[in-house]
Amino acid sequence: MTTPLSVLVVDDEAPARAKVKRFLADDARFTLAGEAQDGAEAVARIEALKPHLVLLDIQMPGLTGFEVLETLGPEHCPEVIFSTAYDQFALKAFDAHAVDYLLKPYDAERFRRALDKAWTRLDEGRTDTERLKALLSSLEPPREKPLERLLVKTGEAWVALRVDRVSRFSAEDKYVRVFSDEGQHLVRQTLKHLEERLDPRRFVRVHRSELVNLDAVVRLEPWSHGDGLLMLRDGGSVVLSRTYREAFLERWGVEG
């Protein structure tokens, strides 16, 4: 490669970002694309700048480094070198074929070796989607509790939305529209992926393209061809497909 590769530096500690930028300035193969100080800002900068490589801290306010990658999705992840002061994630990172893993504090020589690996990988064009999918699936922590917050984009900003304030999720092509007490938002996830992460005691499938918060349901009315119509607390409504009618009523202790 003849042109420098762009690098985004993500760390919540200003001295750590300054150190990385100083090391990067000594290597002509790479150029600084920008920096971010938390997970939400990292997502926005990666989407806007599309860097070749991200120096990504793991423990940050809001979103962890792993959650940043999960939010982006495998098709939009650049190459990643993780950094952290804790070593419990190292094995996962290496098993997942991350470029490298830097354990703080590290020196210039250790940093240069990590850049060498990134340069080689990018030079060989090994940025295939399957490897990134493997990275995400391997790094995803065991799910101990359902999703409580969802990161949604409002204008140029990312906002953390409480899931219990969502009345329903509606599939729209490759996106999901979120109906919440704070308004409507589009998120780049599939409905199936969201369903797997939500509390099944609260959110239920009522249509092949709809998930509803049971706490948001105020009335069920008859509809056509065996379907029902669910009236929601926000004044909206959604069709209860006859396919899901029996399972839905069972949640209320009612026989279909």
Query: pLDDT for 6-46, tens place per residue?
Result: 999 999 999 999 999 999 999 999 999 999 999 889 988 99
Q: Taking 80 as the threshold, does the pLDDT of residue 73 lie above it?
A: no
Residue 231 contacts residue 237 (beta carbons within 8 Å): yes
Residue 124 has pLDDT above 80, yes or no: no
Do 148 and 157 form a contact (C-beta atoms < 8 A)?
A: no
In this prediction, residues 62-88 reach a mean pLDDT of 80
Count of domains in the chain? 2
Residue 142 covered by a domain: no
Asked which of 61, 92, 125 is the last residue of a domain, the reply is 125
Q: How confident is the model at residue 91 (pLDDT cuts 50, 70, 90)?
A: low
Within a domain: residue 37? yes
Tokens (6 digits) for 115: 């850049």
132 found inside a domain? no
Higher pLDDT, 86 or 9: 9
pLDDT interval class at 230 (50, 70, 90): very high
Q: Could you tell me the residue range of the domain that residue 117 belongs to?
A: 5-125
Helix or strand holding residue 241 (H, E): none
Kindly tell me if the per-residue pLDDT of 86 is higher than 80: no
- Considering only CA atoms, which of 177, 156, 180, 193 is closest in space to residue 233? 180
Q: How confident is the model at residue 149 (pLDDT cuts 50, 70, 90)?
A: confident
Dist. CA 234–CA 250, nearest whole Å: 24
The span from the CA of 142 to the CA of 109, in Å, is: 34
pTM: 0.54
Q: Are residues 248 and 177 in the same domain?
A: yes
Give me the mean pLDDT over the 200-225 stretch. 92
pLDDT of residue 112: 93
Closest CA to 238 of 247, 229, 246: 229
Q: Is residue 131 part of a domain?
A: no
Structural domain contains residue 83: yes
Highest mean pLDDT among 43-47, 89-93, 107-111, 166-170: 166-170
Most confident of 22-36, 183-197, 241-255: 22-36
For residues 11 and 119, state if they share a domain. Answer: yes
Q: Binning pLDDT at 50, 70 and 90, where does residue 105 land?
A: confident
If asked whether residues 157 and 203 sit together in one domain, one would say yes
Distance of CA 64 to the CA centre of its chain: 10
Residue 248, both tokens: 């839905």
Last residue of a domain, one of 73, 92, 125: 125
Question: Angle at the Cα of 133 (from 131 to 134), degrees rounded to 5?
Answer: 65
The confidence score (pLDDT) of residue 97 equals: 57
Q: Which two tokens stand for residue 93?
A: 């990172």
